[in-house]
Structure 1
Amino acid sequence: MTRGSLLGDGTLVADYDFYLPEELIAQQPPPERGMSRMLVLNRDSETNGEPLVSDRSFADLPSLLNPSDLLILNDSRVIPARLFARRATSRGKQSATGLIEVLLTAPTAEGNWTALVRPGKKVRTGDHLVFPDIADEIVLEAEVIGAGEFGERTIRFASIQDFYAILDQIGHMPLPPYIRRNDSTADRERYQTVFAQQRGSVAAPTAGLHFTPPILDAIAARGVEIAKLTLHVGLGTFAPLRVNRLDQIHLHRERYTLPEATATALNRARSEGRRVVAVGTTAVRTLEHCALKAETSTSGQFAPHSGETEIFISPGFQFRAVGAMLTNFHLPQSSLLMLVSAFAGRERVLAAYAHAVREHYRFFSYGDCMFIR
């Protein structure tokens, strides 16, 4: 990986670089869910006398939460969104040409999806695609109806009774490209949180992967209130930043839902001065987007609703909802690293990442985590 420094004022994408040996990128989940290491980052270490970072285990998380905290989880469920297709012949059969990889990223209308297609240059608007099952029988058909940049396509699927059942049959779990192996049967369970309910993500909200039912029970037993929201992770997770400055960054829209029970819990926590702890950057982005909407509403309170967000959080952002967060370690020069830097300070975060490298923490989706308080 690349090597960066702490120089710069934080306005350039390159200011969020760091050195990461390839061997620290986790290729598999830990042997058992919940056994990850956890780096604790203290934002107020300069004033409270505590060290900037301390090395803990994820199992310690319940003891680090306050009984009055409100813990927010993202209950989005990952779909097996990576498909393999062939071009259809004029007779509706499969072409003998090579396989085309189709990674669904978000639904756009009834039967329509945006997708990343490889090899993109060979897939044009008007092409018809067929998707075979393991027996090489065609079970799904589609037409390419639009083309974007960098291999992005809009695909219209032929009407079918249960689209998601077909995805479960022929789809693969969309492991990120830095996991350099094919997905396995085990990934169907491990690349999914234990509280996943609302299907629609094409990447896991990875901070949630560490939780187990016993740890959730321990958190609840401590008196912590637990609530859920939904943000479906989309194309932005896979799309690299292709600009040089932070003020040039525009993220893709992602769909979210703030349920009534969660809006009520947030309003109650705010009125009582309680800390809101977000599990993952997806929860952070949703909460801060909804907090901005609340500011401009008549009531000034969180209200249940669904919508889309493209909020980009970088240093200088004023956090309105989140008081602490659990997050995994993020890629160099990524928008998620910028979000974490906005919350804890770029110099502190890069120093914590340097510590994590020295101590051989495991990085990215299947890696270890960091609790920022």
Structure 2
Amino acid sequence: MKLSQFDYFLPKKFIAQSPASPRDSSRLMIVNRKTKSISHQRFFELPNILSANDVLVFNDTKVFPARLIGKKNSGGKAEILLLKKLRGNLWEAITKPGFSKGEKIYFPSFFGKITERHNYTSFIEFSIPAKLFLKKINEIGTTPLPPYIKSQVPDHDLRKQYQTVYAREPGSAAAPTAGLHFTKNLIAQLKDIGVQIEFLTLHVGLGTFVPIKVNDISKHKIHSEQFTLEKSVADRLNKAKLYGKRIIAVGTTTCRVLETCAQKVDKEGSYLLIPQSGSTDIYIYPGYKFRFIDSLITNFHLPKSTLLALISTYATLPNSNEKFTDFSKSLAGKAYHEAINKGYRFFSFGDAMFLT
């Protein structure tokens, strides 16, 4: 498949620069792959859409202030985006500008030394103990935002805006944005009508940031991201699946963990979750058959991205009766076209889509 098959044009005015307020006032497009229907509601109406037969699975990762501004040897500005703690005070990060192995980046009272260079990232060893470094991150770090968001909001407020209300496991360089639409009150309402609520963790890293740059999308390699699916959660989800409940992944990160952990258990092709902690580089694009999830709540994604490839997969063969030829001709593509015509807000702070 060619990268050009996953393209669409989005006028800049539709890129959301701030979240909806309140969070659940965002718009919700419902796309039904069986009936090919597209309908429009508000996110706070979710309790009228879901039932006690539904399970919502959330990613409870927490965005930390991963963007650090330091200085080069020359005194010029240097920027670090922390992606993943490797061990002790050694981190994987993106640097701007690029640095050579052995170079140092200076901050008040400590420095970071480049120990390895890779295609997109560097390994950086910091000069202070790990616990102290984490404290310093919270003091001098700022919230990392995607480049298409030009927010002027103070970082104190941004740390709240760019965080789900249920976040609890620090480790992400970006928010699992489908979850930003949920309020505590909305989650309580969903519980009241019997919707099962479950949590797993995937720390969002470079896999989210790196665009597809190869013409043949199958040649693209997704950077691995750390995740945890607890045994108690896997057991409850497996039980729900066996009872015929609808498993709804809140966000593509949740989807990727569930699909990573789903293992075939019989000749009929049934899959159950195997609890585990590790890393995943699962790459979902048309032709992939979903193993465990039934539905997906997600935002509207960038052209030519792995996330657009994932949602294209949901509504095409072998997951529906529609053959994928080009995003613009697919059900998902038609939904995006309608979203633009109706003035939906796109990307991280934008509106939501429920693929069912």
Q: Report the TM-score when normalising by structure 1.
A: 0.87
Give yes or no for the alignment of 1:351 onto 2:334.
yes
Look up the match of 2:85. 107
Structure 1 residues 323-345: Cα deviation after superposition (integer angstroms, max 9, x where no partner)? 11100000001000110110123
CA distance in 1, matches of 2:68, 2:217: 33
- CA shift, 1:139, in A, is 3.4
Structure 1: 5+ residue stretches without partners: 1-10, 47-51, 89-94, 132-137
Look up the match of 2:30. 40
Give the secondary-structure state (helix, strand or coil) at the position aligned to 1:186: helix
**Aligned counterpart for 1:31 among listed residues 18, 21, 24:** 21
CA contact (8 A) 1:68 1:274 kept: yes
CA distance in 2, matches of 1:140, 1:221: 50
Identity across matched positions, percent: 41
CA distance in 2, matches of 1:37, 1:302: 32
Give yes or no for the alignment of 1:217 onto 2:188.
yes
Give yes or no for the alignment of 1:63 onto 2:25.
no
CA distance in 1, matches of 2:265, 2:254: 16
Give yes or no for the alignment of 1:173 onto 2:143.
yes
- After the TM superposition, which parts of structure 1 deviate over 3 Å for at least 4 consecutive aligned residues? 292-296
Structure 1 residues 163-207: Cα deviation after superposition (integer angstroms, max 9, x where no partner)? 222111100101001112456221110100000011101000000
CA contact (8 A) 2:72 2:106 kept: yes
CA distance in 2, matches of 1:292, 1:202: 29
Give the secondary-structure state (helix, strand or coil) at the position aligned to 1:162: helix
- Between Structure 1 and Structure 2, how many residues are aligned? 340
- CA shift, 1:293, in A, is 7.4
Look up the match of 1:364. 347
CA distance in 1, matches of 2:182, 2:272: 30
CA distance in 1, matches of 2:169, 2:264: 23
CA RMSD of aligned residues (A): 1.8
CA distance in 2, matches of 1:24, 1:351: 17
Give yes or no for the alignment of 1:81 onto 2:81.
no
**Which residue identity lines up with residue 166 of structure 2 in the other structure?**
F
- CA shift, 1:30, in A, is 1.6
Give the secondary-structure state (helix, strand or coil) at the position aligned to 1:34: helix
Look up the match of 2:307. 336
Give yes or no for the alignment of 1:274 onto 2:259.
no
Look up the match of 2:320. none
Give the secondary-structure state (helix, strand or coil) at the position aligned to 2:273: coil
CA contact (8 A) 1:175 1:183 kept: no
Give yes or no for the alignment of 1:162 onto 2:132.
yes
Look up the match of 1:315. 286
Range 208-217 or range 98-107, more displaced: 98-107
CA distance in 1, matches of 2:153, 2:208: 18
Give yes or no for the alignment of 1:139 onto 2:124.
no
CA distance in 1, matches of 2:138, 2:264: 36
CA contact (8 A) 1:85 1:100 kept: yes
Give the secondary-structure state (helix, strand or coil) at the position aligned to 1:366: coil
From the superposition, tell whether residues 259 and 101 of structure 1 become closer, same or farther in structure 2 (CA, over 3 Å): same
From the superposition, tell whether residues 333 and 230 of structure 1 become closer, same or farther in structure 2 (CA, over 3 Å): same
CA distance in 1, matches of 2:48, 2:355: 14
CA distance in 2, matches of 1:306, 1:24: 38
Look up the match of 1:54. 39
Give the secondary-structure state (helix, strand or coil) at the position aligned to 2:8: coil
CA contact (8 A) 2:263 2:273 kept: no
CA distance in 2, matches of 1:350, 1:16: 9
CA contact (8 A) 1:77 1:201 kept: yes
CA contact (8 A) 1:24 1:363 kept: yes
Give the secondary-structure state (helix, strand or coil) at the position aligned to 1:63: helix
Give yes or no for the alignment of 1:116 onto 2:99.
no
Give the secondary-structure state (helix, strand or coil) at the position aligned to 2:261: helix
From the superposition, tell whether residues 109 and 307 of structure 1 become closer, same or farther in structure 2 (CA, over 3 Å): same
Give the secondary-structure state (helix, strand or coil) at the position aligned to 1:73: strand
CA contact (8 A) 1:113 1:154 kept: yes
Look up the match of 1:149. 119
Look up the match of 2:322. none
- CA shift, 1:103, in A, is 0.7
Give the secondary-structure state (helix, strand or coil) at the position aligned to 1:45: coil
Give the secondary-structure state (helix, strand or coil) at the position aligned to 1:273: coil
Structure 1 residues 93-131: Cα deviation after superposition (integer angstroms, max 9, x where no partner)? xx5x221011111122221111111111xx211112221
**Which residue identity lines up with residue 100 of structure 2 in the other structure?**
R
Give the secondary-structure state (helix, strand or coil) at the position aligned to 1:106: strand
- CA shift, 1:300, in A, is 6.5
Look up the match of 1:227. 198
Structure 2: 5+ residue stretches without partners: 317-326
From the superposition, tell whether residues 293 and 309 of structure 1 become closer, same or farther in structure 2 (CA, over 3 Å): farther
CA contact (8 A) 1:173 1:183 kept: no
Structure 1 residues 297-346: Cα deviation after superposition (integer angstroms, max 9, x where no partner)? xx974232201000000111111111111000000010001101101234
Structure 1 residues 1-54: Cα deviation after superposition (integer angstroms, max 9, x where no partner)? xxxxxxxxxx111111111110000011123221101111011115xxxxx211
CA distance in 2, matches of 1:294, 1:330: 33
**Which residue identity lines up with residue 344 of structure 1 in the other structure?**
A
Q: Report the TM-score when normalising by structure 2.
A: 0.92
From the superposition, tell whether residues 139 and 30 of structure 1 become closer, same or farther in structure 2 (CA, over 3 Å): farther
